[in-house]
């Protein structure tokens, strides 16, 4: 199966993500709360241009590995690493299957900026969750950010409209797989066409059940807006889940 999201990251979204370097509020709070030991082994999954990996190295972490499915992202990160004498170990790999990394290898595994939601099929998505558990040490942490289906009010009518089209076109696609509305800040005018890059939007209860079934203990679950307004029950932005193996 073609990976249209990987193609987007290798082309239209390359520059944007290769060069990103600021942290979101939620990321800042989660990293400072949970990544407390700078001697521990960190894996940054779907690292892009190495935004989080370089940030952690600057903070004093000394044992960082990072990978991305898009070779051009890793070329960029490796170039920056050379220029800055960074010791981060960058590789090209697909989160669905990472034999490049050993079982129980990492104390902290980061799956931030919804990397896994770009995996183009449900089987691959589930396999990537299992891989996250395999490579995390017993007692170690895996921190995920997911696209949350119920964080956007229009996802249900959007899915319903798409489902009508998909039925007419005899496509068998889950309602949780939605096309990009904007790509690189430009409206995706082709969003109702066939053969779109689709992102997988998780349902909160289902993803928490999947993570528990794999063996994780859930330590914290919050949407992005709840890091800013700690009292709100509304859910906006990414769903962050902190798991302990
Ligand atoms: C939104 S960017 C986030 C980049 C980085 N994690 C960050 O927070 O700056 C998503 C990244 O995930 C990568 N990606 C998508 N699918 C992947 C997969 N199956 N395995 C590894 N990386 C993947 C993309 O190439 C892209 O660099």
By the 10 Å C-beta count (0-12 exposed, 13-18 middle, 19+ buried), 53 is classed as: buried
**Choice from 20, 22, 48 to test ligand 1 binding pocket (greatest atom count within 8 A of CB):** 48
Q: Tell me the CA–centroid distance for residue 63 and ligand 1, in Å.
A: 20
Q: Whose CA is nearest to atom 8 of ligand 1?
A: 113
Q: Tell me the CA–centroid distance for residue 11 and ligand 1, in Å.
A: 13
pLDDT at 233: 87
Inter-CA distances, 83 with 73, 90, 166, Å: 16, 14, 48
Sign of CA dihedral 9, 106, 147, 171: positive
For residue 4 the two structure tokens come to 């249209």
Query: Does the beta carbon of 31 lie inside 6 Å of ligand 1?
Result: no
Q: Tell me the CA–centroid distance for residue 219 and ligand 1, in Å.
A: 24
Q: Give bridge partners of residue 110 from the DSSP assignment.
A: 44, 143
In angstroms, rounded to a whole number, what is the distance separating the alpha carbons of residues 162 and 165?
5
Q: 54 near 42, Cβ under 8 Å?
A: no
Q: 245 near 137, Cβ under 8 Å?
A: yes
Domain ranges in the chain are 4-148+201-244
Query: Does the beta carbon of 95 lie inside 6 Å of ligand 1?
Result: yes
E strands, the chain, where? 42-45, 64-68, 89-92, 106-111, 136-146, 177-179, 182-183, 186-187, 198-200, 217-223, 239-244
Cα dihedral angle (157, 158, 161, 164), rounded to 10 degrees?
A: -110
pLDDT at 199: 97
The stretches in the chain having pLDDT less than 70 are 1
Closest CA relative to residue 227, chosen from 32, 55, 30, 21:
30
In angstroms, rounded to a whole number, what is the distance separating the alpha carbons of residues 161 and 80?
44
pLDDT at 2: 87
Query: CATH: 3.30.465.10, 3.40.50.1820, 3.30.1480.10, 3.40.50.150. Which one for 4-148+201-244?
Result: 3.40.50.150
Give the β-pairing of 239-244 and 217-223. antiparallel
3-class DSSP state of 196: coil
For residue 153 the two structure tokens come to 């009010």
Q: What pLDDT digit, counting tens, does each position of 167-220 carry?
A: 999 999 999 999 999 999 899 999 999 889 999 999 999 999 999 999 999 999
In angstroms, rounded to a whole number, what is the distance separating the alpha carbons of residues 64 and 139?
18
């Amino acid at each position: 199966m073609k990976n249209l999201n990987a193609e987007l990251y290798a082309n239209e979204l390359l520059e944007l993500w290769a060069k990103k370097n600021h942290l979101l509020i939620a990321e800042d709070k989660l990293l400072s709360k949970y990544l407390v030991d700078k001697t521990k082994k960190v894996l940054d999954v779907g690292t892009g241009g190495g935004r989080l990996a370089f940030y952690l190295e600057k903070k004093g972490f000394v044992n960082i590995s990072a990978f991305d499915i898009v070779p051009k992202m890793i070329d960029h990160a490796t170039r920056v690493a050379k220029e800055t004498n960074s010791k981060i170990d960058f590789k090209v790999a697909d989160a669905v299957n990472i034999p490049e990394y050993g079982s129980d290898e990492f104390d902290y595994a980061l799956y931030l900026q919804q990397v896994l939601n770009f995996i183009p099929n449900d089987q691959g998505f589930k396999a990537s969750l299992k891989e996250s558990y395999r490579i995390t040490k017993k007692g170690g942490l895996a921190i995920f950010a997911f696209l949350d289906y119920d964080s956007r009010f229009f996802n249900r009518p959007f899915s319903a409209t798409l489902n009508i089209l998909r039925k007419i076109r005899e496509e068998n696609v889950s309602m949780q797989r939605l096309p990009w509305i904007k790509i690189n800040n430009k409206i995706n005018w082709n969003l109702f066409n066939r053969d779109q890059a689709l992102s997988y939007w998780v349902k909160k209860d289902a993803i928490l059940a999947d993570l528990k079934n794999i063996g994780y203990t859930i330590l914290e679950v919050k949407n992005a807006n709840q890091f800013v307004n700690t009292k709100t029950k509304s859910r906006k932005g990414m769903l962050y889940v902190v798991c302990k193996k």
